[in-house]
Chain A
Amino acid sequence: MTQSTPKIRIRGLCKAFGPKVVLDGIDLDVMPGTSMVIIGGSGSGKSVLLRCILGLIPADAGTIEIDGVNVLTLPPRRREEVIETIGMLFQNGALFDSLSVWENVAFGLLAAGRRHGRRPSRAEARATAGRVLEQVGLDPSVGALSPAELSGGMQKRVGLARAIAGQPDILFFDEPTTGLDPIMGAVIDGLIVDCVRKLGSTAIAITHDMASAQRIGDQAAMLYKGKLIWQGPAASLLNSGNPMVDQFTHGRREGPISMELRR
C-alpha cells in the first residue's frame, strides 16, 4: 500500500429512507493516520454515513473502499473481517448493561479471539481490560461495576476503552462530547487524540461541537442536506470562507442555512 492510497475512500455514496434522501453522492477521502471531523446539523446524515461504512445500514449506491477494497461488494464473512478493524464509540456509549464494565471493555477481544480460535482466558481478558481502562483514566477497579452505576462521563470513557481495546486501525466517534460538561468534553477529546496517536489509527469523528472538532480533527468536512459542501483543514473551521460553514460554526440564526422545522 502506498502512502497515497486513502485508508477510507468513499465515492458517490447515496442513501435514502423512502422519499427522504439522507446521503446524496458523498465523496470523501481519509488518509491513513489522520483524523477527519465531519460537522453538520442534526439530521444532516452524519450518523447514517458512519453506519453505512460499518454496514449497519445498507447503502443505495456508491462505493466505500477501506484499504482500496470496496467493502460494499465483499461477501459477508470478509466484510465482517474488515469491520473487525474498526472501533466505534457510540453517541450514548451503548454499553451492554447486562455485563460488567470490564466485560464490556473485553467484549471485542473475547469475540475476536473466539473467531480466530485463540481466545484469551477470562483472567487475561480482565487484565487487558484493566490496562485499557487505565489508558482512559479510569481505575481498573471500575471494571467490577455495572455500566448503570457510572456517570455520563465515565460511561463515555468506558465506551472509548471498549472501542480501542482491540487496537483497531480505524476509529469512529459519534458525537463524543455531546451531553458532557465542557471540561469533561475537553478531557474526552484529549483521550481521543491520545488514543488515536498511540494506535496510529485513522479516525472519523462526527460532532457539532466546534471546540471539540478543532481539538480532535486534522481535516474537517461539513455535511449539509446529504452533500459534503466543504472540506478543509480543521484549524480553518472558524474562518473557512464558506458562508454555510461560517454560519454553522458561529451558530448564527441568519444565513444561507435555514433550519427545516417541519418536513
Chain B
Amino acid sequence: MRRFFWQCLLCPSFDAPAMPRYGRRHDGSIRPCCPVGRPVAPRVNAVLDFIAALGRAALNLVRTAGALTLFGLTALSHLVRPPFYWRIFFGALIEIGFFSLPVVALTALFSGGVIALQSYTGFAQYHAQGAIAGIVVLAVTRELGPVMAGLMVAGRVGAAMAAEIGTMRVTDQIDALTTLSTNPMKYLVTPRLLAGTIALPCLVLVADMLGVMGGFIVSVVKLDFSAPAYIAATFAAVKTIDVTVGLAKAAVFGFLITLMGCYHGYTSRGGAQGVGSATTAAVVAASILLLASDYLLTDVFFSQ
C-alpha cells in the first residue's frame, strides 16, 4: 500500500492543497497521497502522522501568507498603472462607506453607552465618576470605534465581496474579463482595496462621534451628569493623536477586510460550496487579522 509519510514533505511532487486527499477510507485502508510514498511500520506511522500534520499545517500557512502577500502587492501595483476603474471604485466606496453607516452607527452608539454604564459601576466606588467622560472618549476613539466598525464592515462588506468575486470565479466571469482585454485584478480588486482603505476611516469618524454621544446620553439621562461638564471633560481628555491613530487603524482595517474578501473570493473553487467557504474564510480571517493588527498598532503608537 502506498501512503503518505514524512519524506513526502520533501518530495518534488508534493502538493500541499492536494494533501487532504490523504486519509483513511471507510474500510480502514489508507488512501495513498503520492506516487513515491512507501509503506512504513504502523507504530512509526502514528508518530510520522503527527509530524506530517504539523508540517502540512505549517506549509499551508506559509503558502497562504506568501500567496496573500503577492496578491496584495499585485493589486497595489495596479494603482499606478492605468487605467483605473472609477465606476467600480465609487460603487465600492458607496457600498462600504454609505450603506454600512446604519449598522456602524448603532454599534457605536450602544458601545459608547455601555462603556459609560460599566465604568460608572466601577468608578462610583472610588468617587471617580468625573473620569467617565474621558474613559468613554478614549475607549471609543482609540479602540471601540475602529474595531467595532471594522468587525461590522468585515461581516457586511468582506463577506459580500468574497461571495460576489467567488461567484464570478466559479461562473467563469473572471476568465471572461481576461478575454475582454480587462485585467481582473485591476478591475475587481484594486478599486475595492482603495475604496475600503478610504471608506473605513470616514465611517470610523462617524462612529467616534456617535460613540461619544452614546456615552453622553447615558451619562446625562441615566446617571444625572451635567451636560456642559460632561462635554468639557470629554474635550479635556481627548487629544488629536487619539483620533488620528484610530483613523489610521481604520485605514489598515479597511485594507485588510477588502483584501481578505477579494483574495478568498478570487481564489475560490468548486461551485456554491466553494463560494460559501470562501465567504466564511474571508470574514474569519479578516476578523482575526483585524484584532491582531489592532494589537500591533496599539503597541506601536500607545505603548510608550
Contacts and interface: CB of A to CB of B under 8 A. Distances in A.
Contacts of A88: 176, 179
Interface stretch (A24-32, A109-117, A207-215): A109-117
A51 B175 CA distance: 9
Interface in B17-61: 18, 35
A96 B176 contact: yes
A19 B13 contact: yes
A63 to B, nearest CB: 21
Contact of A86 (B164, B179, B182): B179
Contacts of B172: 90-92, 94
A128 to B, nearest CB: 14
B178 A83 contact: yes
Contacts of B267: none
Contact of B181 (A55, A80, A162): A80
A56 B175 contact: yes
B176 A90 contact: yes
A166 B177 CA distance: 14
A168 to B, nearest CB: 9
A221 interface: no
Nearest to B168: A96
A153 interface: no
Nearest to A174: B172
B171 A54 contact: no
Nearest to B83: A114
Interface residues of A, number: 28
B77 interface: no
Contacts of B182: 107, 111
B180 A107 contact: yes
Interface in A192-222: none
A94 B180 contact: no
A90 B175 contact: yes
Contact of A84 (B175, B176, B177, B181): B181
* Among A18, A92, A112: residue with most chain B CB under 10 A: A18
Interface string B220-264: 000000000000000000000000000000000000000000000
A80 B83 CA distance: 14
Contacts of B164: 98
Nearest to B183: A80
B173 interface: yes
A176 interface: no
Interface in A83-140: 83-84, 86-88, 90-92, 94-98, 107-108, 111-112, 114-115
Interface in B151-186: 164, 168, 171-173, 175-183
Contact of B176 (A18, A80, A94, A166): A94
A83 B175 contact: no
A19 B175 contact: no
B27 to A, nearest CB: 15
Contacts of A84: 181
A16 B172 CA distance: 20
Interface in B172-220: 172-173, 175-183
A72 to B, nearest CB: 16
Contact of B175 (A94, A97, A98, A112): A94
B269 to A, nearest CB: 12
A116 B181 CA distance: 11
Nearest to A47: B172
Contacts of A162: 176, 180
Contacts of A95: 173, 176
Contacts of A111: 180-182
Given A56-B178, A80-B183, 12 more contacts: A18-B13, A54-B179, A55-B178, A88-B179, A90-B172, A90-B175, A90-B176, A95-B176, A107-B180, A108-B179, A111-B181, A166-B181
17 contacts: A18-B13, A19-B13, A54-B178, A56-B175, A56-B178, A83-B178, A83-B179, A83-B181, A88-B179, A90-B175, A90-B176, A94-B171, A94-B173, A94-B176, A96-B177, A162-B176, A166-B180
Interface of B: 13, 15, 18, 35, 83, 164, 168, 171-173, 175-183
